[in-house]
Amino acid sequence: MLTLSNVTKIFYPYSADEKIALSNVSLTLKEGDFVTVIGSNGAGKSTLMNVVSGVLAQERGDVSIDGTIVNGMSEHERSRWIGRVFQDPMAGTAPHMTIEENLALAHLRGASRGLRAGVTKEKRTMFVEQLRSLGLGLDSRLTARVGLLSGGERQALSLLMATFTQPKVLLLDEHTAALDPSRAALVTELTDKIVNENRLTTLMITHNMEQAIRLGNRLIMMDKGKIILDIGGEEKRALTVESLLDRFAAIRGEKLADERLVLG
Ligand SMILES: Nc1ncnc2c1ncn2[C@@H]1O[C@H](COP(=O)(O)OP(=O)(O)OP(=O)(O)O)[C@@H](O)[C@H]1O
């Protein structure tokens, strides 16, 4: 479970450049909630993830994971509970290390101190099994350097590395945006499968409105540092891109010239 209570994040406070990136945001994700996050450029989506993961410290409010307030914890300390996949396929993996070495490192997350990232026979068997579930043939390339993989393969591997220790919270930051359409579709399907099979509590930022509507059990829309829409259940299943745009326009009190305003 993830809870944000009255979280405010201000860049350059008390200066002429002051920017309120998150304004008194409250949000609770129940265990297994899969929440897609949309909103125009600068709405505060990445800041929300950075505050949850500990990359940024908020000025006010609390972030808690499974009831523990994590405000004072570093990004590193939180990483045992949080899995994250970034837009850049280069960001989540170590290119000069092999697939199995990357997996061994990821496997350490959440483990007790003192354990080593070596690849034992037992671990290798587990890695092969996990890689096979991706259906990309990576299970027969354990000793290949990750830098040689395609962007889609690296994102699939990043996703596996972020999730196979069963994080309490999974953060997906436009993780399919840099891929070509067919690879993006593949990683999207893998995401859906992994998140649902493991009932992972997930926040996923996307600029693709159809993806935001189709995936997950809940959708939030952000604008100017606030959550302006929070739709779940039956209401979400009935959503269309048009109805979502209409609701955005109604809240903002303006007619949208085209959906790029929301899509960025
Ligand atoms: N490190 C920073 N320093 C100063 N201002 C920042 C910083 N990071 C974000 N901001 C500002 O905070 C606001 C929210 O930015 P954020 O990146 O969270 O938006 P976003 O919704 O993720 O946008 P996008 O869809 O363009 O990625 C923006 O006005 C942005 O310029």
Q: Which domain holds residue 186?
A: 2-92+167-252
The whole-model pTM stands at 0.91
Query: What is the pLDDT, as a whole number, of residue 232?
Result: 96
* pLDDT per residue as tens digits for the range 51-108: 999 999 999 999 999 999 999 999 999 998 999 999 998 888 999 999 999 999 888 8
Average pLDDT across the chain, whole number:
90
261 pLDDT tier (thresholds 50, 70, 90)? very low
> What is the CATH number for 31?
3.40.50.300
Ligand 1 touching residue 39 (CB < 6 A): yes
Q: Which of 17, 37, 41, 88 to mutate to test the pocket of ligand 1 (most atoms within 8 A of CB)?
A: 41
> Does residue 108 lie within any of the structural domains?
no
> Does residue 185 lie within any of the structural domains?
yes
Ligand 1 touching residue 21 (CB < 6 A): yes
> Does residue 258 lie within any of the structural domains?
no
Nearest atom of ligand 1 to the alpha carbon of 9: 12
> Does residue 178 lie within any of the structural domains?
yes
Query: What is the pLDDT, as a whole number, of residue 111?
Result: 60
* pLDDT per residue as tens digits for the range 116-143: 567 778 888 888 988 998 888 999 999 9
Percent of the chain with pLDDT over 90: 71
Query: What is the pLDDT, as a whole number, of residue 53?
Result: 97
Q: 250 C-alpha vs ligand 1 centroid, how far in Å?
A: 24
Q: 198 C-alpha vs ligand 1 centroid, how far in Å?
A: 31
> Does residue 110 lie within any of the structural domains?
no
> Does residue 86 lie within any of the structural domains?
yes
**CA separation for the pair 230, 124 (Å, rounded):** 42
> Does residue 147 lie within any of the structural domains?
no
Ligand 1 touching residue 240 (CB < 6 A): no
- How many domains in the chain? 1
Query: What is the pLDDT, as a whole number, of residue 122?
Result: 83
What does the DSSP assignment read for 17-76?
A: T-EEEEEEEEEEE-TT-EEEEEE-TTSSHHHHHHHHHTSS--SEEEEEETTEE-TT--HH
165 pLDDT tier (thresholds 50, 70, 90)? confident
> Does residue 140 lie within any of the structural domains?
no
